[in-house]
C-alpha cells in the first residue's frame, strides 16, 4: 500500500494529529526540491522553446528559401544524430534524440514533396517513412519506438487502400499482418519479445475498433465482417487468459462489448438495443470481476 | 512502510485500533490504476446506455420519478458493496455511483424545467450542497460542485459585465480557497477544492477570450508577478541563487497571465503536499493556458513565438545556473 494513502487514512480517521501527520510525511516521503525544480524547469523550458520555434516557422514559412526549408529538417536530423552519438543511443538523452530523428525523417519527406512539387500520393510519403523508421527502431532497441513505424505503416495502408471499395481488405489485411508478426514472435522469440503484450495490443486494437466502427456502417460484407471482428476479439480474450494479464483481459472484454453493441445498434427494427448494449457492458464488467481472483497474481506485465 | 514508526506518533490509547486499520489496509490487495480506469469506462458505458434507454421505454413514468428510481438503485448498490476491495465490489460501486449521478441529473433537468433557466445556478448550487454529505462518491461531489461553481462564476461575470481585474481577483479567491483546503488536509472537501480549481480555470478561460486582447500587463498580472516572485523566494529558502528562481517566476508571471501563474503555484503546492493529482492537474492547466494564449492573443505569430522563446530560454538558463 502507498505510504501517503495510509497516512491520509490515519489522519482522516483521527488516529493522527495534523502536526504528527506532517512530521511522518516528511520522514517517510522525503522531498527532493532540487531535482523536482530542475526537472520542471527543463520541461517548461523545452515546451516553451519548442512551441515558440513552431510559431516562428509557421509565421515565416512563405518567406523562407527552398534551401533553408530543406536544410532545416536536415540540420535537425544531423543534430539528433550527433546528439545520439555523443550521449550514446542507450542513454535517456540518446533515446530522446532517436525519437526526434524519427519525427524529422517524416518532416523532411513532407518538405521535400512540397518544395519539389513531386505530385506524390499521400501514401508515398508514409511508405518510405515507415521503411526508414525500421532500422532506427532496431538501432534504438526501444519497444515504444516500434509504435511509430506501426502507426506510420497503418496510415500508409489506410491512405493506399482508401480508393478500394469495399474497404474490408484494409481490416483483414492489417489484422493478418499483425497476427503473422505475433505468431512469429511467440514461436521464435517467446522469451525475449512479447509483441502481443499490452503496450502494442491496446493502441492496435483501439485502431482496429475505429476501423471496425467505420466499416460496420459502410461495408456491404456485414456478416463476414462481423464474424471476423468477433472472432478476432474473442481470440484476444483467450490470449489474455493464457498470458494471465488481467488488464489485457479487461480491455478485450470491453472491446468485445463495444463490438457487440455496434452490431446491435446497426440492426434495423430492434427496439431494445440500448438495454442490450448496457447488458453487454455489464456482462463485460462481470467477466473482469470473475477473472480478478484468477489472474491477479501474475506480475510479468509490460 | 514502517508501521512501528507510524504507530509511535499515534496516541497510546488509539494504537491498537490504528494498528488494525493499517493491517487491514495492507492486506487488502490494491487494484491497478489501469484496471480501475477500464472498469470505470465499462460501468460508464453500461450506466449511460441504461439511463438513455429509460427515455425510450419507460416514457409513461414521470421524469423526476425516473431520476428517483436510478438514485435509489444506485444508493442500494453503493450501500451493499461499500468497503468491498474486490474487482466486483469496485465495478458495482462505480455502477451505483453513476446511477446516483444519472438520477440526480434527471432530477436536475426537471429542476431546470421548473426554474426556467433563470435560477438554474441557484438550483444546481442547492443540489451540490444537499448531495455533498448524502452521496459520498468523490466523483459525484466534484461533478456537482464544479457545475455549481462554473454557473455561479458565469452568472457573476456575465450579469455584472466584470472586467479583467475583477476576473483575476475572482480566480485568485477561488485558488486561495482551494489551496487552504489542501494545506489544511481537509480530505472530505478535496472534491470541492478540485471543483474550485476547475472554477478558477473556467474564469481564466472566460477572461482570456474576453479581455486578453486588450493587453498583457493589466493590474492583476503585476500583483501576481510580485506574488509569484515572493512565493518562489520563500520556496527556495536556503538556496544561494534563489534570486534566479524569483526572476524566472516574475518574468513568466508577466508574460503568461494569471491563470498560468496560478497553475505554476498549484504545481509547486502539489509537489510540497505530495498530491500528485493536484500537481499533474496543474500541469494540464498550464498546457491548456498555452493553447488559450496561442488562440486568444491578438498579436502576430512572430511576436507570439518571441513571447514563448524568451521565457523558455530564461527558464533554461535559470535551470543551469541553479544546478551549479
Interface of A with B in 21-50 (CB under 8 A): 21, 23-25, 27-29, 31, 33-34, 36-38, 40-42, 44-49
Position B193 scores a pLDDT of 95
Q: Which residue has the higher pLDDT, B212 or B33?
A: B33
Q: String of b and e for B142-172 (b: at least 16 CB within 10 Å)?
A: bbbbbbbbbbbbebebeeeebbbbbbbbbbb
Kindly state the cell numbers that stand for B83: 468497503
The whole-number pLDDT of residue B65 equals 86
Q: A166 pLDDT exceeds 60?
A: no
The DSSP output letter for A62 is G
Rg, chain A, Cα only: 25
CB of A64 within 8 Å of any CB in chain B? Answer: no
Establish if B49 touches chain A: CB-CB under 8 angstroms.
yes
Q: Is B318 exposed, middle or buried (0-12, 13-18, 19+ CB in 10 A)?
A: buried
Does B192 score more than 90 pLDDT?
yes
What are the cell numbers at B187?
Answer: 480530505
Set of cell numbers at residue B307: 513571447
* Residue-wise pLDDT tens digits, A241-284: 877 778 888 888 888 888 888 777 777 666 677 788 888 888 88
- What is the radius of gyration, based on Cα positions, of chain B? 24
Of A5, A49, A282, the CB nearest to B46: A282
Q: Chain A window 120-149: which residues touch B at a Cβ cutoff of 8 Å?
A: none
Lowest mean pLDDT among A150-154, B133-137, B275-279: A150-154
In angstroms, rounded to a whole number, what is the distance separating the alpha carbons of residues B160 and B140? 30
What the block records as the C-alpha cell of A230 is: 468477433
Report the pLDDT value the prediction gives residue B292, as an integer from 0 to 100: 75
Q: Are A90 and A141 in contact (CB under 8 A)?
A: yes
By the 8 A CB rule, do B259 and B201 touch?
yes
Tens digits of residue pLDDT in B21-77: 887 777 666 677 778 888 888 888 888 888 887 777 666 778 788 889 999 999 999
Q: What is the pTM of this model?
A: 0.74
Burial of B195 from C-beta contacts in 10 A (0-12 / 13-18 / 19+): buried
Asked whether residue A11 carries a pLDDT value surpassing 80, the answer given is yes
Whether the CB of B29 is below 8 Å from some CB of chain A: the reply is yes
Nearest CB among A36, A42, A58 relative to B271 is that of A36
Instruction: Report how far residue B157's alpha carbon sits from residue B174's, in angstroms, rounded to the nearest whole number.
Output: 14
Q: How confident is the model at residue A301 (pLDDT cuts 50, 70, 90)?
A: very low
B290 contacts chain A (CB < 8 A) = yes
pLDDT of residue A33: 73
- For the cut 70, the answer to whether the pLDDT of residue A291 exceeds it is yes
What CA–CA distance (Å, rounded) separates B282 from B276?
10
A32-36, A224-228, B109-113, B276-280: range with highest mean pLDDT? B276-280
Average pLDDT over residues B311-319: 77
* A chain contacts of residue B38, beta-carbon cutoff 8 Å: 247, 250-251, 254, 288
pLDDT tier at B197, thresholds 50, 70, 90:
very high
Write down the pLDDT at residue A13. 82
**Which band of pLDDT confidence, cut at 50, 70 and 90, is reported for residue B181?**
very high
* Of A190 and A119, more confident: A119
Length of chain B (residues)? 324
Mean per-residue pLDDT of chain B: 80
* pLDDT score recorded for residue B291: 77
Q: Output A64 or A19, whichever has higher pLDDT.
A: A19
CA-to-CA distance for A271 and A290, rounded, in angstroms?
30
**pLDDT band with cut points at 50, 70 and 90 for residue A302:** very low
3-state secondary structure A191-235: CCCCCCCHHHHHHHHHHHHHHHHHHHHHCCCHHHHHHHHHHHHHH
CA distances from A134 to A42, A160, A221, A241, B172 (A): 30, 19, 34, 31, 51
Amino acid at each position: 500500500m502507498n505510504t501517503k494513502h495510509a497516512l491520509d487514512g490515519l489522519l482522516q480517521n483521527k488516529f493522527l494529529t495534523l502536526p504528527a501527520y506532517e512530521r511522518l510525511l516528511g520522514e517517510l516521503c522525503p522531498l527532493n526540491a532540487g531535482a523536482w525544480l530542475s526537472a520542471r524547469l527543463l520541461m517548461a523550458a523545452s515546451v516553451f522553446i519548442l512551441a515558440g520555434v513552431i510559431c516562428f516557422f509557421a509565421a515565416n514559412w512563405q518567406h523562407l528559401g527552398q534551401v533553408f526549408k530543406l536544410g532545416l529538417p536536415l540540420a535537425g536530423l544531423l543534430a539528433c544524430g550527433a546528439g545520439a552519438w555523443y550521449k550514446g543511443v542507450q542513454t535517456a538523452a540518446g533515446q530522446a534524440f532517436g525519437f526526434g530523428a524519427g519525427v524529422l525523417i517524416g518532416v523532411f519527406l513532407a518538405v521535400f514533396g512540397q518544395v519539389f512539387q513531386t505530385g506524390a500520393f499521400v501514401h508515398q510519403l508514409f511508405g518510405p517513412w515507415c521503411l526508414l523508421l525500421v532500422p532506427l527502431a532496431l538501432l534504438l532497441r526501444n519497444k515504444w519506438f516500434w509504435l511509430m513505424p506501426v502507426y506510420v505503416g497503418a496510415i500508409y495502408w489506410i491512405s493506399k487502400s482508401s480508393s478500394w471499395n469495399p474497404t474490408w481488405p484494409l481490416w483483414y489485411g492489417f489484422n493478418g499482418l499483425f497476427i503473422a508478426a505475433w505468431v512469429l514472435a511467440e514461436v521464435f522469440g517467446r522469451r525475449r519479445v512479447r509483441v502481443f503484450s499490452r503496450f502494442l495490443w491496446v493502441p492496435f486494437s483501439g485502431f482496429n475498433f475505429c476501423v471496425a466502427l467505420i466499416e460496420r456502417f459502410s461495408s456491404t460484407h456485414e456478416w463476414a465482417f462481423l464474424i471476423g471482428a468477433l472472432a478476432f476479439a474473442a481470440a484476444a480474450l483467450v490470449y489474455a487468459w493464457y498470458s494471465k494479464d488481467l488488464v489485457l483481459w479487461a480491455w478485450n472484454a470491453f472491446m468485445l462489448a463495444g463490438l457487440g453493441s455496434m452490431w446491435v445498434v446497426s440492426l434495423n427494427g430492434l427496439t431494445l438495443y440500448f438495454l442490450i448494449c448496457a447488458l453487454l457492458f455489464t456482462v463485460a464488467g462481470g467477466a473482469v470481476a470473475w477473472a480478478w481472483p484468477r489472474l491477479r497474481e501474475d506480475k510479468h506485465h509490460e | 512502510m514502517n508501521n512501528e514508526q507510524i504507530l509511535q506518533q499515534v496516541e497510546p490509547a488509539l494504537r491498537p485500533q490504528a494498528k488494525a486499520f493499517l493491517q487491514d489496509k495492507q492486506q487488502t490487495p490494491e487494484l491497478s490504476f489501469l484496471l480501475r480506469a477500464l472498469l470505470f469506462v465499462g460501468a460508464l458505458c453500461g450506466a449511460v446506455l441504461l439511463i438513455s434507454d429509460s427515455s425510450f421505454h419507460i416514457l409513461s413514468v414521470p421524469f423526476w420519478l425516473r431520476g428517483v428510481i436510478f438514485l435509489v438503485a444506485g444508493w442500494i448498490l453503493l450501500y451493499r458493496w461499500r468497503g468491498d476491495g474486490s474487482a466486483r465490489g469496485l465495478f458495482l460501486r462505480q455502477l451505483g455511483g453513476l446511477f446516483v449521478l444519472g438520477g440526480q441529473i434527471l432530477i436536475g433537468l426537471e429542476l431546470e424545467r421548473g426554474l426556467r433557466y433563470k435560477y438554474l445556478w441557484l438550483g444546481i448550487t442547492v443540489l451540490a450542497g444537499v448531495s455533498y454529505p448524502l452521496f459520498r462518491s468523490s466523483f459525484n461531489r466534484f461533478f456537482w460542485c464544479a457545475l455549481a461553481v462554473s454557473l455561479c462564476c458565469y452568472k457573476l461575470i456575465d450579469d455584472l459585465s466584470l472586467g479583467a481585474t475583477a476576473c483575476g481577483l475572482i480566480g485568485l479567491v477561488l485558488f486561495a480557497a482551494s489551496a487552504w483546503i489542501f494545506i489544511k488536509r481537509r480530505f472530505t472537501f478535496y472534491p470541492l477544492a478540485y471543483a474550485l480549481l476547475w472554477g478558477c480555470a473556467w474564469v481564466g478561460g472566460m477572461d482570456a477570450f474576453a479581455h486578453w486582447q486588450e493587453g498583457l500587463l493589466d493590474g492583476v498580472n503585476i500583483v501576481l508577478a510580485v506574488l509569484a516572485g515572493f512565493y518562489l523566494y520563500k520556496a527556495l529558502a536556503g538556496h544561494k541563487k534563489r534570486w534566479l528562481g524569483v526572476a524566472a517566476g516574475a518574468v513568466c508571471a508577466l508574460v503568461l497571465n494569471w491563470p498560468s501563474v496560478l497553475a505554476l503555484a498549484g504545481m509547486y503546492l502539489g509537489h510540497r503536499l505530495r498530491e500528485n493529482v493536484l500537481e499533474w492537474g496543474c500541469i494540464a492547466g498550464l498546457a491548456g493556458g498555452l493553447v488559450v494564449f496561442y488562440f486568444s492573443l491578438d498579436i502576430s505569430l512572430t511576436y507570439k513565438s518571441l513571447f514563448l522563446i524568451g521565457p523558455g530560454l530564461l527558464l533554461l538558463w535559470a535551470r543551469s545556473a541553479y544546478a551549479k
